[in-house]
Every structure is written in C-alpha cells, then in structure tokens.
Structure 1
Amino acid sequence: MKTVLVIGAARSGIAVSKLLMKHDYQVLLTDMKEVPEKTELEQAGIQVYDGGHPDELKRTDYAFVVKNPGIRYQVPFVHYFVEHHVPIYTEIEIAYRYAPEFTFAAVTGTDGKTTVTTMLHLMLEKKAPSLAAGNIGIPLSEQVLQSDGTKKDVAIELSNFQLLGVDTFRPHVSVVTNLAPDHLDYMDTLEDYYRSKMNIYKNETKDDYFIRNVDDENIMKYAQNIPCTVIDFSLKRDDVDLYRKGHYAYYHDICLFDTDTLKIVGDFNCGDAMMAACMAYLMGVDVKDIQDVIEHFKGVEHRIEYVETINGVRIYNDTKATNTHSACAALSAFDKNVILLCGGKDKHISFDDMKQFDQEVKYCISFGETKNHFKSIFTHWKAVETMEEALKEALKMAEPGDTILLSPACSSFDQFKNYEVRGEIFKDLVHKYAEAERED
C-alpha cells in the first residue's frame, strides 16, 4: 500500500484524504491547528497529526504529497519535500484523476474568475445538471466522492496556487481572463505568478480550446506554445474570433448575445460575459440558453454589489477586489464622486495604477495595514484604523449623488478571516446605518 501525506486539514484536505483512502492509499493528514474531525478521521483509518507538523513526517518514501494551495512552498516543512523532489500536488489534481466522468471548463486570471465561472455554471445548468468547483462551490474532491458516475460538466475556478500543483489536469475549454500584479507575498517573482497561470492549458490537445485575451499584453507575452485550438478574444478589435460589434457579442459569425441586456456594470463585465458565453457554447450550450442567463444575471456577491442607498448616496460592496487591477476595474464603472474605502493586508504591490482615478475619487478613506500607502495616490485622502471607521467617515462627508465604494485593493487577512467575511461585515454595517436612518 502506497503512503501519501496531506498537508492542511481544511474542507478540501479532509475530502482529498477520504478520496485517497477510497483508492487504497495509506493517508497521513497534518495541520498546524487542532483538527475537530480528528476522531472521525482516525476511525476511518486516516492518521491525523494536528497542532503542528512533527519531524517524524519528514520522509521521502511518500508516493506524493497533497498540499493546501494556501500554504507557501517556502514554509520549511513543505520546502523539505521540495528539496527532496517528492511530487507535491493540490487536491484538484487528485480529484481530476478519479473523475473520468467529468468534463471541465476551467477559468483562471487575476480578476473576473468568479464572475466568469458563476455565469458559465448557470449556462451549463441549462443543458444538464452540472457542477461549480475549485475556488467556488464544494471542493472538487468532495464532489468526486459524491459522484455516482454520471457524466457532468464542471465549471471550475482555479487560482495560481492551485495550478502550481497540477500535473495531468486537462480541461476541454480554458481561459486566463487577464494578468496583473498580485500575490507577491506568495510567489518569488511576478514572472513566476504569470507563468503559473499558463498551467491551465498545458495538458490540452488540438481537440480542446483556450480563449486568449489579446487585449492583455501580459497574456500575449506568456501564453506561448499553446497545444490546443486558440480562440482570440478582444473588446477593442473585431478581427478576432470572439469580439464585440455594435452592441452584440460574436463568436465568429454566431451572435452570442446582445450586450445591452447585461445588467452588470463595467466594460470588464461585458468581457467576462463574452468569455463565459463562448466557453458555454463550446461546451454545447444552446445560444438561447446563453442569452437567457445573460439577461437575468445580476452579478456575483461581493463584486461591485449594490447594498443600499442612504440619503441619496449609493453604496457598493466590492470586497472581492483584493488587488489594484480589480479595484481599478471597479472605479472605471463609475463616472465621478466616488468615496473610496480601501486598504488591508500588504501584499507588496504598488498602488500607483490607481492614480489615474484621482479625478473620479472625491475622497479616499483608507484603513488597515496599508492605510498610509494611499497618501501619495489620491489628492483627497484620510487614514483610519478600521473599515467601520472608514464607512462612518464616508457617510458623514457624502452628499446626494455620491457613491461609496468599498474596493480594498488589498487582501483581508490583516483584520478579517477572508474577503467574504469583510464584505458581510460591511453590508451588515451599511444595513444598520440605513435602518437607523429610516427610524429617525
């Protein structure tokens, strides 16, 4: 019996441990924290080491190691296996190996991943029951465990952390939405980050498809030697495969949808919708079903999500903007009079590209670890400690017709568990202020 080590006992780590047990591996599972499911897992035959990674687990005879994608390769315990050339995978790779009944449409990129994947899943559902996996939905390993062998399409959102640990994973259709600086707190270099995204198509064949965003100079630089059929996409040109002409989106001569029916704001959202629509079409979804989803799609939670209007001031939650490129995309969706709330964990990326929106930003109120980083970016700026203080200040200075936009341009881990928690807390605060206003 071959032995494997699983590092990280989050939901995906537990699921992949059970999946490997099912396929006759001896599984050792370790986590720095206490594992609440330890007794249950040990009764199932999985050896659990929690509260740290003991040296006795440093062996080189593992068939492979499965690592939680959020754990850096530079962590000493993980780096031991890197140095000793033990294969290290993420649970996506393992789940893929045991799911021949699944056909994958894979999405990665710096921004727009969740929007594209969510729309794509809704479109696939029009054809037949399908799955959403990866960074959204239930971990893929868990869905493989629950599978009854029925053929299904899977819309899968993949981070570069997950793509670093794939070996045989092969989607039928894939896309890199865009590339912009991010995760320099995790990756050694920006080039390593960009190159990792290209793993999405490395196992595809001529019978598969990769959508290439020709408007993005970084994609054009790094998307080389593509082994599958390339579909060139542009929002600026109409001499490519996937393009916009007038207010219609086309794949070759096939009209995918009327862009005027889109309810989500911003040019970038139009691009996301075009990518999702083309992927769905290549996966066999009928154009009428694609158009129905486009017409009714109201956006992804936490991505330029309308929350409330208080005294004529519209408030939006864009907590999912964890880098400057994403925050710039959000700012581009508004004309003027934006009171921007931003800040969070320092990922060691420059905020200079946000300077272009100085005229649109009526006032910037920054908070968190990076609160002082925006002083040189915006003319009108103030720093506070917390997001709650930032919202309170924004509501004091806002006038009817203004927009308050939470678009942090930073990850949340300095003050929050994750960006979703940050967004939920923000919305709760807004609703409380709105309710108090209604009672006055």
Structure 2
Amino acid sequence: MSKIKKFLNILKNKRIMICGFGKSNSCMVKMLLDANAYLIICDYDKKTKKIFQHKNLEYRLGENYLEKLDVDIIIRTPGLNYFSENLIKARKKNIIVTSEIEIFFDLCPCEIIGVTGSDGKTTTSTLIYEILKTSKEKVYLGGNIGDPLLPLIYQLNENDIVIVELSSFQLISMRKSPDISVITNLSPNHLDIHKNMVEYVNSKKNIFLHQNAFSKIVLNYDNKLTKKFKNQTRGKNLFFSLNKKLQNGAWISKNKIYFSENEKTTQIMEVTDIKLKGTHNLENYLAVICAIFDKVDIKYIKEVARNFNGVKHRIEFVRNLNNVYFYNDSIASSPTRTISALKVFDQKVILIAGGYDKKIPLDDLSYIILDKVKLLILLGNTSEKILESIKKISEINNKKMINFIQTNNMQEAVEVSYKNSEKQDIVLLSPAFASFDLYKNFEERGNDFKNIVNNL
C-alpha cells in the first residue's frame, strides 16, 4: 500500500479542523473529503467564502473559531502561532497539531532540498530550481514561495527533486528535515510573533535537527549563529564564506569562486559571471553551489549565473525617469535586508523606508543610513522609531544628521522622492519593515510602488 493510501486510511472518520482557509489547503480539503474524514474549516475572517459544500463539512468563522476543540486533528496555517493558547490546550488534550507542509514531508517520495534563513531564502531557492531544471526533467519549487506543494503529491516519483523554501513559522513544528538543508544566514526577525530570539533560532534549527547521517547541511561560515550549528548536525556539513578558504564548502579568492571537498578544489566561475548585484547575492550563489555541486555540471551553474535577473521585489530596477533611477526592494522587511541593499550601490541614495514594526533593533541600520543615504523618505508606523534611532546613533558617533521627510502614503513618498532628486540619483524603496500597516503583503507594496513610479 502506498504512503498516500495509508495516510488516507488513517484519516477515515476522523474529525479534522483546518485553520485558516486559503489556496494552500484547497487541495487538502478535497483529499480529506475523499478519505471520508469530517472537516471543520475555520478562519478568523467572518467573510471567508464558503467555497466547499459537503455533508461532511462545516464552517466556523470569527475570532472564537478555536475555542471548541472537539476534533482529532488540527491542520494549522503558518500564520497561526504554534504556541498560541488554544493550540497548547489542543496538544494537552492529545489532539494532533500539524500543517500542510508537514503532511507533504510525510508523503513525499523523492529528495527534498530545503532552504531557510533570515534573508535570501527565495533567491537561493529559485537559483537551485533554475540550475537543476536545466539538467533534470522534473524539479519542483514551493513551500513559502509559489504554489502549494501538496497537490503535487500524486504525480511525484522517487527520481524527482523538490526545492522547498521554509519560514520559521513552518519549521517551528516540523519533525522531519529535508535531505539537503540550507541556512543562508540568521539575524533578528519576526520578533513581533516569536517569543524571543531563542525561539526564532530554535525553529530554524528544525531544518537539520531531524536529518540522518546521509543528509547534508549547508551553513554560512561568516554568520556567528549558523557557524555554531556545526556541532549539532548529524549529516555532512558544508560551509560557504566570502572571507575564508574552506576545506569543505564554497569560497572566494581573488574574484574567483571555488568549491572544496575531500581534499579536492574546483574552480566554479568568476565573481563577474554573476549578473545579480550585491555581496548578499554572492553569498546566495555560494550556498547554492554547496547544495547542488554534485548534482549538475558546472556549466549549468555558470549559465544561470550569467542570465538570471533575480526575483521580483528584490532590488528590482523599475524605471529611468530623466536620469533618476528607481529600484524596488519591497522584500526588505527587516533591517538586514535594507543594509544589504544599500551596500549594493556605490553612491548615496534617496531611501524610502518604514512600515509595520517587527520589534527588531535598528542600530546597525541607522549607522549605514547615515553613511549611505542622502535623503530619507519615511512612511508607515515606524517613522518615529526610525528617526529616534538615527538621531541616537548620529549623536553617539558625532555624525551629521541626514535630511528626512515624513509622508503619509506611497504616492506621496514617490512624488516627494522624485521632486527632491537630481540627475543620476537613485531612489530606492527598501522599507526595512513589514508591509502590514498599509498593505496586505510585500508584493502588494512593491507593485504599488512600481505603478506609481511608472505613472509619474
């Protein structure tokens, strides 16, 4: 009997609660109804559309949807905190709490490459996918990026490869790890949701804690947190570094990229082969090389490096308007991302920043803003917090305070940026904060910026 059939047999006549209804669980609803389970679809939003109608299905909508724990299994979305009061109560009652991604890991018949980190997850995952698909017929990409993975489960076979981008909210409850795991870096993030930095880091560690001796973990040697993980892993450790020659991993010397393993060193390509700008993208490529060096010919790695234009909303060039250059880096929902973006440009920029507060320290960001920004355009809930931090760092370091303008919305921010620009200036949207104060997500924020810029 196949894994899928065994799984569906276990679910027969079980009462299953699906928390948070969206595209990621539409396939799951159909799968569970076919297994003759009884489903309770729950959502905080009372306006959730009742798409499915079935005798074995009911809806519980509104803020109290989790109070009645009369089920055998709860399938949560990543947005529902694993340590919320109601889910803790559920686990104490021996109710199984799982997720779509955990079910996928249980049922997937093929190799999984998982990528996590505070920054660079999407670009690294996408690069692995783009390189592997040049030389392999069936490669799939999903998880925290793109389409849900569970619908693929019926068509996957053991020779395929799935690349999965994993967030801390997905990893926090996982008890299976990918065959190959990559951690791009770690820095404070999502501290508005996670109890503290320890909880955030511990959730990320689940990407390798459940590996076996034949697994592989790729770690950032230059990152203090990830470097320490080497003593906690079970599989093969590979590192990547911008600064140090490594015995096992990818590294750079004299603008050449190398990979070393088992006392053998191979030159992969020149740094100049990489089309994407930025030191952070060099790190992404080094991580990719570690993950798939033994799976593809080097020529495919070079080919993608020379042609890959990047993922939308990541230092994305938008428009040259009268020799003023606009860039969209809406993905920058943390200070470290904005720091990386500012380092890409060899001149001071006009920076649009601000948004929803994730309770992350701002000292490092404030320091680089004082060095790399000629005019700061602020919007969103964190405007005052950013200003306070910059003023503090300015006074401590005897640095001149930069010019700034506070705005109410993106339209005003873009118009003010352009009005105050000169020829050859760069206007960069790199908010350093999440979008939730003004937008549904970073994509909506970035698209709004691009639309406004293109209509100037």
Normalised to the residue count of structure 2, the TM-score between the two structures is 0.88
Given candidates 360, 374, 380, the residue that maps to 1:362 is 374
Secondary structure, counterpart of 1:236 in structure 2? coil
What one-letter code is carried by the residue in structure 1 that aligns with 2:414? L
- 1:22 to partner: Cα distance: 4.4
Q: Give 3-state SS (helix, strand or coil) of 1:232's partner.
A: strand
Structure 2: which amino acid aligns with 1:334? F
* Structure 2 match to 1:57: 68
1:404 matched to 2:441? The reply is: no
- The answer to whether the 8 A contact 1:317-1:406 is kept is yes
Aligned to 1:289: 300
**What amino acid is aligned across from residue 353 of structure 1 in structure 2?**
D
The answer to whether the aligner puts 1:96 opposite 2:119 as a matched pair is no
2:267, 2:43 → 1: CA distance? 50
- Match of residue 86, structure 1, among 87, 91, 95: 95
Match of 1:260 among 262, 267, 272: 272
Paired residues for 1:27-38 under 5 Å: 27-34=39-46, 38=50
Cα deviation for residue 296 of structure 1 reads 0.6
Alpha-carbon offset, residue 150 of structure 1? 6.6
Q: Report the counterpart of residue 330 of structure 1 in structure 2.
A: 341
Asked if 1 retains the 8 angstrom alpha-carbon contact of 2:240 and 2:290, the reply is no
Distance 1:141 1:52, change over 3 A: farther
Q: Which moved more, 1:9-18 or 1:182-191?
A: 9-18
What are the superposed Cα offsets for residues 197-246 of structure 1, whole Å, 9 maximum, x if unpaired? 01001221121110111100021245541011000211110134221122
Aligned-pair CA distance for 1:89: 1.9
What is the aligned counterpart of 2:220 among 213, 224, 232? 213
Q: Distance in 2 between matches of 1:230 and 1:254?
A: 18
Structure 1 position 301 matched with structure 2 position 312? yes
Check whether the contact 2:98–2:173 (CA below 8 A) recurs between aligned residues: yes
Closer, same or farther: CA 342–85 of 1 in aligned 2, 3 Å: farther
CA distance in 2, matches of 1:285, 1:25: 43
Matches of residues 175-254 of structure 1 in structure 2 within 5 Å?
Answer: 175-222=182-229, 224-241=231-248, 242-252=250-260, 253-254=265-266
Cα distance change of structure 1 residues 427 and 240 upon mapping to structure 2, 3 Å threshold: farther
Q: Is the 8 A contact 1:6 1:67 kept in 2?
A: yes
One-letter amino acid matched to 2:79:
G
TM-score (norm 1): 0.91
| Identity in percent | 30
Is the CA contact 1:53–1:77 (under 8 Å) kept in the aligned structure 2? no
Give structure 2 stretches of 5+ with no counterpart. 1-12, 391-400
**Partners of 1:48 and 1:295 in 2: how far apart?**
50
Residue 5 in structure 1 maps to residue 17 in structure 2: yes
User: 2: distance between equivalents of 1:221 and 1:85?
Assistant: 35
* Aligned counterparts, 1:71-220, within 5 A: 71-73=80-82, 75-100=84-109, 102-126=110-134, 127-145=136-154, 147=155, 149=157, 151-168=159-176, 170-220=177-227
Q: Which amino acid aligns with 1:303?
A: R
8 Å CA contact 2:111, 2:158 repeated in 1: no
Alignment check: 8 A CA contact 1:66 1:89 kept? yes
Q: 1:43 to 1:86 in 2, by over 3 A?
A: closer
In structure 2, the partner of 1:68 is 77
SS in 1 for 2:30: helix
| Residues in 2 aligned to 1:74 and 1:239: alpha-carbon distance in whole angstroms | 39
Q: Report how many aligned residue pairs link the two structures.
A: 426
CA separation of 1:55 and 1:160: change in aligned 2, threshold 3 A: closer
Amino acid at match of 1:70: G
Please give the secondary structure, in 2, of the residue aligned with 1:38. Answer: coil
Aligned-pair RMSD on alpha carbons? 2.1
Q: Identify the residue that residue 3 of structure 2 maps to in structure 1.
A: none
Instruction: Report the AA paired with residue 240 of structure 2.
Output: F
How big is the shift at 1:148? Answer: 5.6
Distance 2:240 2:168 in 1: 21
- Cα distance, 1:69 vs structure 2: 0.6
1:200 aligned counterpart, secondary structure: helix
1:32 partner letter: Y
Deviations 1:125-177, CA, capped at 9 Å, x for gaps:
112221111111111112225x2647421111000000012123x31211110
The equivalent of 1:436 in structure 2 is none
- Which amino acid is the alignment partner of residue 150 of structure 2? S
Kindly tell me: are residues 7 and 125 of structure 1, through their superposed partners in 2, closer, same or farther at Cα, counting changes over 3 Å? same
Counterparts of 1:203 and 1:47, CA distance in 2: 36
Any runs of at least 4 consecutive aligned residues in structure 1 with deviations exceeding 6 A, and if so which?
none
Equivalent in the alignment of 2:28 = 16
Deviation of 1:87 (Å): 3.3
Kindly provide the CA deviation profile for residues 106-133 of structure 1, in whole angstroms up to 9, marking residues without a partner as x. Answer: 1000000000011111111112221111
Shift of 1:36: 5.7
Which residue identity is paired with 1:176?
I
Partner Cα distance (1:55, 1:138) in 2:
27
Cα deviations across residues 379-404 of structure 1 (Å, max 9, x unaligned)?
A: 22222111221111111111112111
Match of 1:350 in 2: 361
